[in-house]
Amino acid sequence: MSPELIVFDLNKTLIKENSWRDLNLAMGVTPAEDAELMEQARRGEITDAEGQAELIKIYQQRGDVSRPNVEKILWQYTYMPYARDVVSELRKRGYNLAIVSGAMDILVQHVATELQITWWRSSNRFIFDENDQLIQIQSPEKDTSDKLCQLQQLVGELSIALADCMVIGDGANDAALFQATGNGVTFTDSPIVDDARWVVDDLSGVLSIEVEIGRASCRERV
């Protein structure tokens, strides 16, 4: 049985960039500040929501938070090799496609629209005021658990089971999705190889996966 939904991560999966780091640096966050906030979140000293609240303060103090400028920064992404071709081919084969990401909602929506991916979900919402100034980032307490919640909500809306999804991703927050579906795909240089069912060199390998959803399987190299 083929998957009823194929889910992509965004950063480092469909696009090459780390969109958060790129935006942070463009908004005046220093590399040291960026690294320290990431480390504090990793250690559990601050929640993801607290980290984003700190970032928005820096953005407003040092950067241009107008919507046109924010979009100009975020739209400077490049697709991973084969991303466009793989998505196009999967659409031709009749698969339902989605992006579920911890990136900002305006970027996730933009890429989904550009690639003609029907469904998308984001853990972080950018709020602009009536003058198109970024005033808030609505974030979950923990991105890792929220990303799974986003997928659970989506499959609920589509009336399909988690076990009927295939998830393609590369980061720590994708591991929970891999475990929940049992059908994770990652890359050879990913830190979550041990959590994946399939390991590919690049996105083109996704097209070679012989998928039998629900079949017991050890990790497979494609």
* Residue 15 DSSP code: B
Give the model confidence (pLDDT) of 37-50 as tens digits: 989 988 889 988 89
Q: Give every CB contact of residue 141 below 8 A, 6+ residues apart in sequence.
A: 47, 48, 49
Distance CA 23, CA 70 (A): 8
Distance CA 141, CA 136 (A): 15
Model pTM score: 0.92
The CATH homologous superfamily for domain 5-16+79-221 is HAD superfamily/HAD-like (3.40.50.1000)
Give the position of tokens 């003058």. 131
Number of other residues whose CB lies within 10 A of the CB of residue 26? 17
Most confident of 69-73, 121-125, 145-149, 206-210: 69-73
- Which run of H or of E encompasses 126? strand 119-128
Q: Which amino acid is present at 204?
A: S
3-state percent breakdown (helix, strand, coil) of the chain, nearest 5: 45, 20, 35
Give the model confidence (pLDDT) of 103-157 as tens digits: 999 999 999 999 999 999 999 999 999 999 999 999 876 655 689 999 999 999 9
Q: What is the largest CA-CA distance in the chain?
A: 54
Instruction: Give me the residues paired with residue 128 across strands.
Output: 134
Domain coordinates in residue numbering, the chain = 5-16+79-221, 19-74
